[in-house]
């Protein structure tokens, strides 16, 4: 007995004097596709993004039931036509200093079915490539500074995705080293209980590992503002099962919102007696969310309709390898449009993405699954659902529940089980699981069969009933569900190619052409979807709608609808912005409605139409102004006013034709549809509500190609080897007018404190590699991505057009 007491005393002493945690990003790895030949890579890493594009990689003969297809056809670009299928192997080494007794590896995402080995021992496995997971490395590590080897095996099987999933360890890996007694980051839960008269009550729960047999264990929790001032502080004991609960009041609290994304720091210090043995810092935003039939969606007690977009997880030419600068650029572009929310479709988000949304002010619907038990593709998540769904939901919520940007969870997208009692019970179960882990947020999912989802009870059990498309069924659906409100969880699916216009202009749900492009008149969509204005009208005119998420904010790799059977076509046309992140015309349509802080005046199409002289070439204007006048070479084409158009509530599902006509468009667009093309200029003069001239815009016919122009999104980037600058290159005439059909091949060279990273022109039919320093312009533009290389100093990008014999140079500075 005496020996045992001495041993326990020594254990307590060792724990109490342990070193405070250390978290290290492990980013240098060796990578192989065959476990034989290896190359050095930096994680996050996507092994497939360099290509080459080839229809053979995931050639499928299927009927896409989500698109209403009944007969199987060959699909050549459904998952991006990139070599993501097959095995991948990663390995690296790490050390654990002697002062740390425990080590854990956190993988934020690895595609897919990652199996982790430490020093030759199988240490962990996770089935779902989109989810974060943790591996306890402690039983397998060598301590005292000796090397430890991590090996990760990945396996992507064919027909396991409906879009491009990427391949590799595409999100960060973190080594977390602590003492035996430590704070569980996923056991920390921070939420706002109440906001009243400017004061906020904040609740914080924390779980501690290794609490057993430790006397005097307690925690100090501080809430600190951005200036470093402590706004509230609490001391609490750790209870008998390792938990701590604290509630604090903050006076004059600064609230988090998209307009003012204020973040506090929550610092938790764990003490054994008076010895600090662990410490964590979490960012939090003070805000409340609720949804009801009476008030709709409310943030901080104020009703607002969600102005959101759906986003897949790839970053265009960067592939799926997550990058902070690229995410920041996306969010900045979306916020300029007036967007205030994103839906992570149809996958679990990265921690990095959520941190950016926290800091920049973007609300998030965090989604989980694209399928449950019924498979949408042969080897999809359905084969894991029964054994893994609860574990995946648990990791999703625990990993992300402290992010103020997340305003709701989504448990699925267009689940085939939506018409069954079984599906209803699965919905109830997954929603209850979310509530048990995070009672502060509502739960939703996207349903695409309103009648069956309502009849089965599937829609009725959800906190937030989300309906995908078929907006003309809203009036009937709202009468049959108890919630009293509807979320447009996926809307529009309008298709367009930047800078491409098709004649005659027409409204169609089947616009396909020999060149594999779609018209930027923004009047083409898919058989299951609709014009953008249909959703805008329902959001504006129906008090029971709480907002929408447009499909999609940016083009993404895979799903090249309406060209699923066309080769070459390997990426989507749905984006409001193209794959390079360049806004399409549709960007300005949404901006004219959503951005209340700035005026919008956008004219389309371009006015360089060699050979169309005398032919009808409609001119559209997207603007928040109520009226405008169009001039062609000084001749007035008339002044137009936005027209009143509404659809009366109906008890039937037959309103679709009323949401597919030119009268609807005239409510949100100014359209001169009889204009005949003549070279020169078109000028639009916009008038405000008082009839006063407010703004004008002129579009000129371009002359001969004369020069290249370069514009970087930033002139300074960090010299950390991860930061990126996005440089837009345009071909213009000698007056700076864009050459709208410019397709010259350009080459790129980067010298100094940076390197060439990638390039993209936004053409869904291009088979040129993103990672080679040459590419053709598409509609006169492309984007070059430059990366810092770890050194400070000047980065010089040189772009050459050998056909034109012109060069443009851009300097970017890499700073510490």
DSSP secondary structure, 694-714, as one string: EEEEEEE---S--EEEEEES-
CB 77 within 8 A of CB 55: yes
* Domain match, 186 and 172 both: no
The Cα 55–Cα 253 span in angstroms is 55
442-484 pLDDT tens trace: 999 999 999 999 999 999 999 999 999 999 999 999 999 999 9
DSSP string, 54-119: -GGGG-EEE--GGGT--S-EEESSTT-SSS--EEEEEEEEEE--TT--EEEEEES--BS--EEEET
The Cα 207–Cα 297 span in angstroms is 32
Q: What is the largest CA-CA distance in the chain?
A: 103
6 domain-assigned: no
Which residues, 6 or more positions from 795, have their beta carbon under 8 angstroms from its beta carbon? 717, 725, 750, 751, 752, 753, 754, 786, 788, 811, 812, 813, 814
* Domain match, 337 and 452 both: yes
* Domain match, 257 and 302 both: no
The Cα 331–Cα 334 span in angstroms is 5
Region of 737 (left: φ > 0; alpha: ψ -120 to 50; beta: rest) is beta
Count structural domains, the chain. 5
Task: Give the bridge partners for 203, in sequence order.
Answer: 191, 247
Q: Give strand ranges (E) for 532-675.
A: 545-551, 601-604, 619-623, 627-632, 635-641, 670-672
20-63 pLDDT tens trace: 999 999 999 999 999 999 999 999 999 999 999 999 998 888 88
What is the token pair recorded at 184? 């569980």
pLDDT attached to residue 5: 30
Residue where a domain terminates, one of 142, 160, 178: 178
* Domain match, 307 and 372 both: yes
Residue where a domain terminates, one of 160, 178, 196: 178
CATH of the domain at 774: 2.60.40.10
The Cα 511–Cα 500 span in angstroms is 13
3-class state of residue 421 by DSSP: helix
Residue where a domain terminates, one of 116, 147, 178: 178
Q: Which residue has 């007794």 as its token pair? A: 101
Which residues, 6 or more positions from 694, have their beta carbon under 8 angstroms from its beta carbon? 599, 625, 686, 687, 688
* Domain match, 500 and 375 both: yes
Give the HSE-up count for residue 276: Cα atoms under 13 Å, Cβ half-sphere. Answer: 10
73 domain-assigned: no
* Domain match, 330 and 261 both: no
Helix axes 421-437, 385-400, angle to 10 degrees: 30
CB 182 within 8 A of CB 274: no
Whether omega before 655 lies within 30 degrees of 0, making that bond cis, reads no
Q: CA distances (Å), 307 to each of 114, 192, 235, 410, in order?
A: 36, 24, 41, 17
142 domain-assigned: yes
The helix (H) or strand (E) run that includes residue 318 is: none
Which residues, 6 or more positions from 322, have their beta carbon under 8 angstroms from its beta carbon? 44, 108, 109, 170, 171, 172, 313, 315, 350, 352, 353
Residue 72, Cβ neighbours under 10 Å: how many? 11
The Cα 460–Cα 218 span in angstroms is 45
Provide the pairing of β-strand 707-712 with 121-125: unpaired
Which residues, 6 or more positions from 805, have their beta carbon under 8 angstroms from its beta carbon? none
Which of 241, 308, 277 lies closest to 101, judged by CA? 277
* Domain match, 411 and 466 both: yes
Any idea of the CA torsion for 533, 578, 344, 312, to the nearest 10 degrees? Answer: 130
The whole-angstrom distance between residue 778's C-alpha and the CA centroid of its chain comes to: 24
DSSP string, 189-236: EEEEEEEETTEEEEEEEEEEET-TT-TTEEEEEEEE-TTS-EEEEEEE
407-434 b/e with 16+ CB inside 10 Å = b? bbbbbbbbbbbbbbeebbebbeebbebb
pLDDT attached to residue 3: 30
Task: Give the bridge partners for 340, in sequence order.
Answer: none
* Domain match, 167 and 273 both: no
Q: List the chain residues with pLDDT less than 70.
A: 1-18, 66-67, 651-655
Residues forming the active site: 414, 490
pLDDT attached to residue 604: 98
The helix (H) or strand (E) run that includes residue 527 is: none
Residue 781 belongs to domain spanning: 707-815
Which of 767, 713, 698 lies closest to 516, judged by CA? 767
The Cα 444–Cα 345 span in angstroms is 13
393 domain-assigned: yes
CB 753 within 8 A of CB 792: yes
3-class state of residue 432 by DSSP: helix
* Domain match, 320 and 394 both: yes
pTM of the model: 0.96
Which residues, 6 or more positions from 30, have their beta carbon under 8 angstroms from its beta carbon? 38, 39, 40, 41, 90, 91, 92
The whole-angstrom distance between residue 310's C-alpha and the CA centroid of its chain comes to: 7
609 domain-assigned: no
Whether omega before 52 lies within 30 degrees of 0, making that bond cis, reads yes
* Domain match, 753 and 624 both: no
Give the HSE-up count for residue 64: Cα atoms under 13 Å, Cβ half-sphere. Answer: 23
160 domain-assigned: yes
The whole-angstrom distance between residue 222's C-alpha and the CA centroid of its chain comes to: 32
* Domain match, 414 and 489 both: yes
Provide the pairing of β-strand 781-788 with 724-732: antiparallel
CB 815 within 8 A of CB 718: yes
* Domain match, 481 and 538 both: yes
The Cα 661–Cα 652 span in angstroms is 19
CATH of the domain at 109: 2.60.120.260
808 domain-assigned: yes
What is the token pair recorded at 333? 């572009």
141 domain-assigned: yes
């Amino acid at each position: 007995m005496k020996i045992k007491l001495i041993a326990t005393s020594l254990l307590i002493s060792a724990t109490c004097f342990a070193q405070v945690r250390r978290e290290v990003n492990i980013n240098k790895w060796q990578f192989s596709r065959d476990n034989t030949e290896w190359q050095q890579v930096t994680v996050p890493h996507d092994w497939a993004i360099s290509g080459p594009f080839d229809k053979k990689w995931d050639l499928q003969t299927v009927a896409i039931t989500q698109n209403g297809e009944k007969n199987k056809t060959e699909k050549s670009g459904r998952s991006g036509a990139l070599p993501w299928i097959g095995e991948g192997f990663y390995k690296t080494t790490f050390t654990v200093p002697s002062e740390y007794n425990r080590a854990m590896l956190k993988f934020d995402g690895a595609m897919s079915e990652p199996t982790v080995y430490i020093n030759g021992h199988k240490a962990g496995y996770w089935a779902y490539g989109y989810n974060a997971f943790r591996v306890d490395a402690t039983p397998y590590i060598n301590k005292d500074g000796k090397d430890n080897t991590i090996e990760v095996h990945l396996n992507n099987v064919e027909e396991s995705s409906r879009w491009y999933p990427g391949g590799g360890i595409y999100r960060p890996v973190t080594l977390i080293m602590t003492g035996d007694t430590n704070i569980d980051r996923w056991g920390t839960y921070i939420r706002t209980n109440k906001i009243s008269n400017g004061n906020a009550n904040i609740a914080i729960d924390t779980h501690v590992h290794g609490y057993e047999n430790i006397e005097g264990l307690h925690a100090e929790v501080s809430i600190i503002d951005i200036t470093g001032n402590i706004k509230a502080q609490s001391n609490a004991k750790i209870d008998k099962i390792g938990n701590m609960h604290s509630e604090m009041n903050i006076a004059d609290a600064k609230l988090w919102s998209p307009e003012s994304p204020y973040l506090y720091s929550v610092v938790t210090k764990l003490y054994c007696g008076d010895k600090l043995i662990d410490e964590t810092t979490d960012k939090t935003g003070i805000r409340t969310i609720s949804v009801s039939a009476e008030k709709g969606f409310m943030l901080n007690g104020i009703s607002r309709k969600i102005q959101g977009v759906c986003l897949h997880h790839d970053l265009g030419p960067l592939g799926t390898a997550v990058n902070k600068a690229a995410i920041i650029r996306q969010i900045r572009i979306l916020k300029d449009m007036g967007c205030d929310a994103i839906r992570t479709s149809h996958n679990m988000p990265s921690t990095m993405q959520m941190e950016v949304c926290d800091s920049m002010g973007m609300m998030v619907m965090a989604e989980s699954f694209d399928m449950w038990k019924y498979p949408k593709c042969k080897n999809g998540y359905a084969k894991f659902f029964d054994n893994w769904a609860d574990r995946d939901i648990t990791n999703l919520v625990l990993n992300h529940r402290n992010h103020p940007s997340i305003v709701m969870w989504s448990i699925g997208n267009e689940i085939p089980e939506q018409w069954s009692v079984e599906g209803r019970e699965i919905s109830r179960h997954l929603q209850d699981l979310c509530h048990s882990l995070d009672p502060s947020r509502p739960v939703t999912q996207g349903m695409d069969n309103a009648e069956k989802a309502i009849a089965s009870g599937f829609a009725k059990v959800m906190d937030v009933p989300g309906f995908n498309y078929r907006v003309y069924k809203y009036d009937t659906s709202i009468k049959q569900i108890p919630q009293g409100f509807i979320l447009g969880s996926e809307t529009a699916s309008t298709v367009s190619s930047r800078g491409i216009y098709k004649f005659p202009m027409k409204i169609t749900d089947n616009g396909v052409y020999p060149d594999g492009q779609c018209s930027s008149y923004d009047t083409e969509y898919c058989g299951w979807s609709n014009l953008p204005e249909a959703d805008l009208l329902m959001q504006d005119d129906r008090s029971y709608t709480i907002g929408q998420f447009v499909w999609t904010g940016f083009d993404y790799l895979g799903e090249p609808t309406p060209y699923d059977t066309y080769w070459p076509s390997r990426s989507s046309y749905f984006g409001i912005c193209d794959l390079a992140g360049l806004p399409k015309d549709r960007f300005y349509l949404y901006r004219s409605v959503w951005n209340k802080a700035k005026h919008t005046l956008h004219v389309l199409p371009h006015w360089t139409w060699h050979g169309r002289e005398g032919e009808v070439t409609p001119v559209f204007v997207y603007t928040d102004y109520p009226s405008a006048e169009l001039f062609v070479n000084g001749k007035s084409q008339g002044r137009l006013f936005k027209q009143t158009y509404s659809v009366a509530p109906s008890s039937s599902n037959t309103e679709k034709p009323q949401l597919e006509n030119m009268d609807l468009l005239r409510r949100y667009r100014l359209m001169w549809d009889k204009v005949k093309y003549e070279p020169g200029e078109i000028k639009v003069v916009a008038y405000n509500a008082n009839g006063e001239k407010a703004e004008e815009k002129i579009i000129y016919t371009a002359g001969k190609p004369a020069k290249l122009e370069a514009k970087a999104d930033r002139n300074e980037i960090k010299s950390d080897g991860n930061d990126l600058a996005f440089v837009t290159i345009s071909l213009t005439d000698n007056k700076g007018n864009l050459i709208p059909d410019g397709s010259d091949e350009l080459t790129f060279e980067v010298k100094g404190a940076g390197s060439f990273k990638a390039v993209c022109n936004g053409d869904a039919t291009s088979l040129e590699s993103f990672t080679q320093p040459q590419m053709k312009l598409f509609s006169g533009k492309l984007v070059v991505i430059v990366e810092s290389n770890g050194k400070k100093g000047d980065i010089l990008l040189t772009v050459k057009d050998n056909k034109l014999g012109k060069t443009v140079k851009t300097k970017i500075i890499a700073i510490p």
